[in-house]
Amino acid sequence: MENSFQNPRILVVDDEVDIREGSARILSRMGSETLTASRGEEALAIMETEPVSILLLDLKMPGMDGMEVLHQVRQKYPEVLVIIITGFATVETAIEAMKKGAYDFIPKPFEPEHLRLVVKRAAETLRLTWERESLEKARTRTLMDLGTEKSRIRTIIESLPNGLVVTNSQAQVVLMNPAFFELLGVDSELSLGHPIDRYVSDAKFCALVRAISSGRYQPNDPIPTHELSAPGGNYLLARGRPVMGEENECLGAVITLVNITAMKVLDQMKSEFVAKVSHELRSPLSTIHEQLALVLSDMVDQEDTVKDQNLLSRAKEKTQGLIALIGDLLDLSRIEAGGGLQEPKSVQLDALLTDITDFLRTKAQSKNQQLELDIPQEGLPPVFADPVALESIFGNLITNAINYTPEGGRVRVSGRTDDQAIQVEVADNGFGIEPRHQEKIFDRFFRVKNEKTRYITGTGLGLPIVKNLVENLEGTISVESAPDAGSTFTVRLPREKLETRND
Ligand code: ADP
pLDDT band (50, 70, 90) for residue 287: confident
Question: What confidence tens digit (pLDDT) does each residue in 142-184 have?
Answer: 655 555 566 778 788 888 989 999 998 889 988 888 899 889 8
- Residue closest via CA to ligand 1's atom 25 equals 432
What pLDDT score was predicted for residue 467? 94
Query: Is residue 448 in contact with ligand 1, taking CB distance under 6 Å?
Result: yes
Residues 6+ apart with CB under 8 A from 27: 10, 12, 34, 115, 119
CA of 487 to the centre of ligand 1 (A): 10
Q: How far apart are the first and last CA of the chain?
A: 87
More confident position, 417 or 281: 417
CB 169, CB 153: distance < 8 Å: no
- The residue that leads in pLDDT, 166 or 92, is 166
Q: Which residues pair with 239 in a beta bridge?
A: 225, 256
Pairing of strands 81-86, 54-58: parallel
User: What length does the chain have?
Assistant: 503
Question: Please, which pLDDT band fits residue 500 given cuts at 50, 70 and 90?
Answer: very low
Determine phi and psi for 248, rounding to 5 degrees: 65, 25
Atom of ligand 1 nearest to the CA of 426: 23
Ligand 1 contacts CB of residue 462 (under 6 A): yes
E strand or H helix that includes residue 235: strand 234-244
Rounded CA separation 405/390 (Å): 23
460 Cα: distance to centroid of ligand 1 (angstroms)? 7
Q: Is residue 280 over pLDDT 90?
A: no
pLDDT at 162: 92
Nearest C-alpha to atom 14 of ligand 1 is from which residue? 447
Nearest to 400 by CA among 423, 371, 380: 371
Q: Please indicate whether residue 406, judged by its CB atom, sits closer than 6 Å to ligand 1.
A: no
Question: How many Å apart are CA 316 and CA 328, to the nearest integer?
Answer: 18
Cα(438) to centroid(ligand 1), Å = 10
Spacing, Cα 97 to ligand 1 middle (Å): 102
Give exposure, 481-500, as e/b (b: 16+ Cβ within 10 Å). beeeebbbbbbbbebebbee
Alpha-carbon Rg for the chain, nearest whole angstrom, is: 46
Ligand 1 neighbourhood includes 460 CB (under 6 angstroms) = yes
Q: How many angstroms does the Cα of residue 400 sit away from the middle of ligand 1?
A: 6
Q: Are 498 and 383 in contact (CB under 8 A)?
A: yes
Count of CA atoms in the C-beta half-sphere (13 A) of 111: 3
Q: Is 82 helix (H, G, I), strand (E, B) or coil?
A: strand
Q: Phi and psi for 10 in degrees, rounded to 5?
A: -120, 135
Closest CA to 483 of 441, 436, 418: 436
**pLDDT per position as a tens digit, 209-264:** 999 999 999 888 888 899 998 888 889 999 999 998 878 888 899 999 999 998 88
Do the beta carbons of residue 160 and residue 173 sit within 8 Å?
A: no
As a whole number, the mean pLDDT across the chain is 86
**Number of neighbouring beta carbons within 10 Å of residue 290:** 12
**Ligand 1 neighbour 431 (Cβ under 6 A):** yes
- Cβ neighbours of residue 104 under 8 Å, at least 6 residues apart? 81, 83, 84, 98, 118, 121, 122
Q: Which helix (H) or strand (E) holds 35?
A: strand 34-37
Q: Residue 22, exposed/middle/buried by CB under 10 A (0-12, 13-18, 19+)?
A: middle
Report which ligand 1 atom has the smallest distance to the Cα of 465.
6
pLDDT for 300: 72
Residue 31: which region, alpha, beta or left (left: phi > 0; alpha: psi -120 to 50)? left
Helix, strand, coil percentages (3-state) for the chain, rounded to 5, are 50, 20, 30
C-alpha 428 to ligand 1 mean position (Å):
12
State the pLDDT at residue 78.
92
Tell me which residue has its CA closest to atom 7 in ligand 1.
462
Is the C-beta atom of 458 inside 6 A of ligand 1? yes
